Structure 1
Amino acid sequence: MTSTFPAWIYDGSEIADPFGRGEAAVRFLRGLKHPKSRRPDHALHLDPWQERIIRRIYGPCHPDGSRIVRTVVLLLPRGNRKTSLCAACAILHTFGSERVNNSEIISAAADRKQARIALDEAMSIINMVPELKAITSPQEYKNRIVNKRRGAFYEAIAAEAGTQHGRTPLFVIADELHAWPKRDLWDVLKSGLVKTAGSLLMVATTAGRGQENIAHDIVEDARKVARGEVDDPSILPILFEAGRDEDWRDEAVWHRVNPGLAHGYPSIEGLRQLAREAARKPGERSAFCQLNLNVWQDHSTDPFVDMEVYDEGAAPVDLDALEGEPCWLGVDLSSNGDLTCVVAAWRDGADGYVVHPWYFCPADNLRTRAERDGVPYPLWAERGFITATPGNVVDFRVVEDTIRTLCTRFRVQEIAFDPHLARNTLNTLLDEGLPAVEMRQGWMTMAPAVKELERAIVGKRFTHGAHPVLRWNFDNIAVHTDTAGNRMFHKGKSRDRIDGAVACAMAVARAAAGDAGGSVFDSPDDFKELMEFLNG
C-alpha cells in the first residue's frame, strides 16, 4: 500500500506561493516570541518541518488569490509541539497576515480544560509582544481574546458545552478530535465554515481508538488523499504515523513519526523509558503505540482478535445465494437499552463460516443513546443496519417475527438462546414447532464457542460482510481467561456493546456442532439436558 508519510516536508521541493501568502505567514510567525524559547529575545522559532507546513497551507492559491487548502489534517504524536503550532496559527488569523476584520477564530476540544490549552498558549505568546498586547483584550469569562483594532476574536470552546449554533468561523482548530465524545459540535462548526469565504479547518490530533468516531473517519479520508486514491487538493494530509506491523521498539521508526526528535523534542530518553515500561506491560505498550507513534488502536485494550485480521473477512455476503444452505441462529436478547441481535451462521467449506446479523434497538431517544455509546445509531438505523422498534425497550415481538421470516427464508437448523432473558420467546417459538434451543452463557458452553470463533477469524475463514455494528461489537470485546486457558467475552467499559459478537459465537458454535442434515440433537430437550449437565 502507498505510504501516507508527508515526504514533501523533507524533499526540498518547491511550494507554490504566487501571491506571497506563505511567505507573509512565515514572516509574521517569526516575529512572535515565546516565553519558553531559548533563542535570543525569546524569538519564536519555526523548525524547518514546521515552516514547510506553514508554507504548504498558505502558499498555494487559485488564480483569484483564494487559498487552495481548506482542510488540514495534522496527525502528530505527543510532544511534537502541536499546541504551539496551532496557537501560532490562531494568532496569525486573529492578528496577522490572514486576519479578516470581525472574524471568529475558534479552537474546539473535548472538554473545557483541553480547550483552554491552545488559548492559554496563544495568550502567553501575545504577552511577549508589546505591539500585540496593546491591541488585545482578554475576556476570561468568555474564554476569548479580542483584537480591539480589527474586531476579530479567538475563542476556545468545548464539545461538552453545547452545539454552538449560529457560528460563522474563519478558522477552526479541532484539537485532539479522537477524544470528542460526540460529533454535534463538529457538524455545527463544519457547516459554519462554509458560510465564510477563505475559511480554514485544522484538525490536530493524535491517534485514537476504534473506527466508530468522527476522528477515524477524517483521518481515513486524509489517508486516501495522501495515497492518491482521492483527488482533493483542498485537503492537506500531514500524517505522521507508524504502521501496525512496524517494530514499535525501533528508534528509526520513532524518528520518522516524531518530526521534532531531530530538534530535541520530545525527549528521546523519555521515549526510551516509556518503551522499557511498554516492553513489560501490554497496556503501556498500547498507549505508547497510540500516543507516541500514532498507531490507531482497536477499541478494546485487551482485544479478542486483531481487528485488521477481522477486517480481512469483509467480502460481501450474498444472502440470496445462501437460501438453500443449512443455517444456525444465535440470539442475544437485551435488557433495557442494550442491543438485541440475531446472527445467522452458515458453514463455508470444512472449516469456515459466513455470518450475517440483524440488530434491534429502542427507537425512543435514539440520539441520546448514540451520545451515550459514542456511535451513530441514527445513521445505522437510516441505512438499515439496525431496526429501531417503537418504545424505550426492544419490542421482542419484532425480533420473533424476524426469526420466523429467517426460518421461512433459510434452512434454519437451530435457534440458540441464552434462557436468562429469552424464556418467553423461546417457549413461543417452540410451541410453533421452530427449532429453538437453550445455550447458557457459562464457561462450559461459551469457552468452546469463543475458541472456535477465534480459530475461524485468525485462520481467515470467517466472512462477515463488513457489517459496521458487528465490527463495533467485536472491537469492544475484552477477554477474561481462566486458569485453564479458557477465554470468555466481557465488555471493556460499561457503555460498550458486545451483543452481536456473543450471538455470533453462539451461532458459530452451533454450526460447528451441526451438519447439513439438521441438528446434532434429536430434540431441543436433548440439548437442554446436556447444557444443564455441563453447567452443573
Structure 2
Amino acid sequence: MAAAATFPHWIYDGSEIPDPFGYGERAVRFLKALRHPKNLKRGHPFVLDAWQERIVRRIYGPRHEDGTRIVKTVVLLLPRGNRKTSLSAALALLHTVGPERVPGGEVISAASDRKQARLAYAEALGIVRATAPVASVVSLQDYRNRLTSRKHGSFYEAISCDAGTQHGRTPVFVLADELHAWKKRDLWDVLKSGLVKTPGSLLVVATTAGRGQENVAFDIVDYARKVARGEIHDPATLPILFETDPDTDWRDEAVWHRANPGLSCSPAYPDIEGLRQLAAEAEHRPGDREAFRQLNLNVWLDHSADPFVEMAIYDQGAEPPVDLEALKGEPCWLGVDLSSNSDLTVVVAAWRDGDGYVVHPWFFCPEQNLRGRADRDGVPYPRWKEEGFITATPGNVVDFRAVEEKIRELCDAYDVREIAFDPHLARNMMANLAEDGFPAIEMRQGWITMAPAIKELERAIIAGRLRHGGNPILRWHFENISVETDKAGNKSFHKGKSRDRIDGAVAAAMAVGRASAGSKKRYSIYSDPRISPEDLWI
C-alpha cells in the first residue's frame, strides 16, 4: 500500500493553494465564525486548526476559469479522535446556511445506521444552537434529523442505510460518514447518481479505515490512493489519506503522530496518554491490538481478525494470470465444496507447478434473489456474475446438475487424477461420476484429512508458490478465514462471522492437499531403471 506515497504532504509544506475567487477564504471565515458547545473557552469558538484550515482551502479554493468547483469528491481517511465529525458537521452547515448554500438545496449526511446518523445530526445541531446568528434562521424537525434554513429553503438531513429507499434525492452536498461501516452500497449508488443532477455538487467521504476489500469503502479509498500516487489523473478527486502501512511498528509513537494530525495541535487530540494506555493493553490482547491498528492508526485490515495468512502475501500469487489453455492435458486435482442453501458451491482445480501450485476456482450460486444475497453478504454478486467469476443457476438453490456438468468438462479438458468431495451432500454426485469411471473420492472435513492439506496450502502461500490469478471471490473467501489451532499445531478453517463465506478456500485446500499427496509417487521395482527384467526372474 505504501502509505508514504499517499500521505498529504501539502497540508504541512506551506505550498500555495489557489483561491482565485476567494471561495476558500470565504469558507474558512464562515467556519471560524461558528461556535461549538464542547469548547470550554470563552465564547465557545469553533476551532479550525491549521491542518483543517488547509483542507478547507484546498476543497473550496481551486476553481475553473468560470468559477465552478474543481474538487467534487473528497476522500478523508482519518483515525478516530481527530474531530472528523465536527469538521464534517461544519462543512454540512456551510452548504446549508453558509456561503456555499443553494436555495432549496438538499444537504445530506449518510451513515450506516440510525444511531450513527443521529450522532452526525446531534453534532450539527449542537453547533447551530451554540451559534446564535445561525440558530435564528434555522427551524428544526428533530424527529426527521433535519435542519432547514427558513430564508433559503435549503436543508440538512441525516439519513442512514437502514432507513429504506432514498430514491429521488438531488443533493448539493453529501457527507458519507464512516463509509467503512456500510454493509451494502445501495444508498451510496442512489446518492452518487443524485449528485450528478445538481451542478456544483460536492461529495465528502469521511471515514476511518475498515476491514477487507469487498466493500464500497475499500473501492473508494483505493481509487483515492491511485489518485494520490499519480496512477490516475483526476483533479476532481481530492485524496486526504492519513493511514499506516500494515507492516509498520504500531508501538512507535512517531507513527501515531503521522497518522493522527490532531496530535500536532495544542492542545493535542486524541489524548496521547489515552493512546498509550490502549497500546499497553494491546500488547497482551490481540483483539485490542487489531482494533488499535485499525481505528487509531488507520491500518486497513484483512477481513478476519485471526487471518490464515497475511493477505499481502496471498496477493503476490495474483500475477501472472492463470492460463487455463496452457494447462490442458496436465495432471490436475479437483476439490469440490457443495452448498446446502445460502453458501456458494465451488469447484477448485489444482495443478503442480514445480514446488508450488496453480489453482483456479469455478463458483456457483442461485440466480434467484441475487441482489438480496449481495446485500446480506456485503459483496457484489451481480457484478461478479457479469464479469464471469460466478455462474448463477436458476432457482433459489444451486443446481447440482450444472456443477456436475462442469466437473465432467474439466475431466475432459485436463488429466484429472482425483475429484475430492466432502461426502456430506455429495453422495448422489459422487455415485454418478464413479459410475461413469471418474475418480471421485471422499475427503471428510475433519482434522485428520484437512490439517495436512491446510498445512501444505499455507506453506505454498507463504513461500510465494501458490498462483491463483487474483480471482476476487477466492480472495474474499481466504480473507474470511478464522483459524483454530490445536495443541499439536494442526489448523482448521472456520468462518469469522456467520455471514462470511470460506467455501473457496476450503475447496482450494482440498485440491492442493490431494495434489500434494498425488505427486508423491510410490516406489515400484517394476519402474526402477536400475533393475532389468532378468533381475526379476526366479
TM-score in terms of structure 1 length: 0.96
Q: Which amino acid aligns with 1:185?
A: L
1:419-459 deviation per Cα after TM superposition (whole angstroms, max 9, x unaligned): 11111100100001001111111100000000000000000
Which residue of the partner structure matches residue 377 of structure 2? 373
Distance 1:183 1:474 in 2: 22
Which residue of the partner structure matches residue 154 of structure 1? 156
Which residue of the partner structure matches residue 422 of structure 2? 418
Which residue of the partner structure matches residue 95 of structure 1? 97
Distance 1:41 1:345 in 2: 69
What is the aligned-residue RMSD (CA, Å)?
1.3
Which residue of the partner structure matches residue 286 of structure 1? 290
Which residue of the partner structure matches residue 62 of structure 2? 60
Match of 2:478 among 459, 474, 477: 474
Structure 1 residues 149-228: aligned runs within 5 Å:
149-228=151-230
Structure 1 residues 293-332: aligned runs within 5 Å:
293-315=297-319, 316-332=321-337
Count of aligned positions: 519
Distance 2:106 2:300 in 1: 32
1:308-343 deviation per Cα after TM superposition (whole angstroms, max 9, x unaligned): 000000010000000021100000011012100000
Q: Which amino acid aligns with 1:325?
A: E
**1:516 shift after superposition:** 9.1
Which residue of the partner structure matches residue 341 of structure 2? 336
Distance 1:280 1:79 in 2: 23
Contact 1:326 1:516 in 2 (8 A): no
Distance 2:31 2:440 in 1: 70
Identity %: 70
Distance 1:516 1:328 in 2: 13
Q: Which amino acid aligns with 1:434?
A: F
Structure 1 residues 435-474: aligned runs within 5 Å:
435-474=439-478
Structure 1 ranges of 4+ moved more than 4 A: none
Question: Greater shift after overlay, 32-41 or 266-275?
Answer: 32-41
C-alpha change, 1:106 and 1:283, in structure 2 (3 Å) is same
Which residue of the partner structure matches residue 389 of structure 2? 385
1:513 is the counterpart of 2:526: no
Q: What is the SS of the residue equivalent to 2:244?
A: coil
**1:24 shift after superposition:** 0.2
Q: What is the SS of the residue equivalent to 2:419?
A: strand
Which residue of the partner structure matches residue 532 of structure 1? none
Which residue of the partner structure matches residue 401 of structure 2? 397
Q: Which amino acid aligns with 1:59?
A: G
Which residue of the partner structure matches residue 13 of structure 1? 15
Q: What is the SS of the residue equivalent to 1:321?
A: coil
Q: What is the SS of the residue equivalent to 1:40?
A: coil
**1:181 shift after superposition:** 1.2
Q: What is the SS of the residue equivalent to 1:17?
A: coil
Distance 1:30 1:417 in 2: 66
Q: Which amino acid aligns with 2:410?
A: L
Distance 1:30 1:223 in 2: 30
**1:287 shift after superposition:** 0.5
**1:39 shift after superposition:** 3.4
**1:236 shift after superposition:** 0.2
**1:117 shift after superposition:** 1.3
Q: For structure 2, list consecutive stretches of 5 or more residues without a partner in the other structure.
A: 525-538
**1:517 shift after superposition:** 7.9
Which residue of the partner structure matches residue 488 of structure 2? 484
Q: For structure 1, list consecutive stretches of 5 or more residues without a partner in the other structure.
A: 521-536
Structure 1 residues 521-536: aligned runs within 5 Å:
none
Which residue of the partner structure matches residue 527 of structure 1? none
Structure 1 residues 13-52: aligned runs within 5 Å:
13-52=15-54
**1:153 shift after superposition:** 0.1
Contact 1:39 1:45 in 2 (8 A): no
Distance 2:167 2:38 in 1: 37
Q: Which amino acid aligns with 2:515?
A: A
Match of 2:135 among 112, 133, 136: 133
Which residue of the partner structure matches residue 83 of structure 1? 85
Match of 1:346 among 351, 354, 360: 351
Question: Greater shift after overlay, 186-195 or 323-332?
Answer: 323-332
Distance 1:473 1:347 in 2: 22
Q: Which amino acid aligns with 2:61?
A: G
Match of 1:363 among 359, 364, 367: 367
Distance 1:66 1:392 in 2: 50
Q: What is the SS of the residue equivalent to 1:357?
A: strand
Distance 1:129 1:499 in 2: 55
Which residue of the partner structure matches residue 533 of structure 1? none
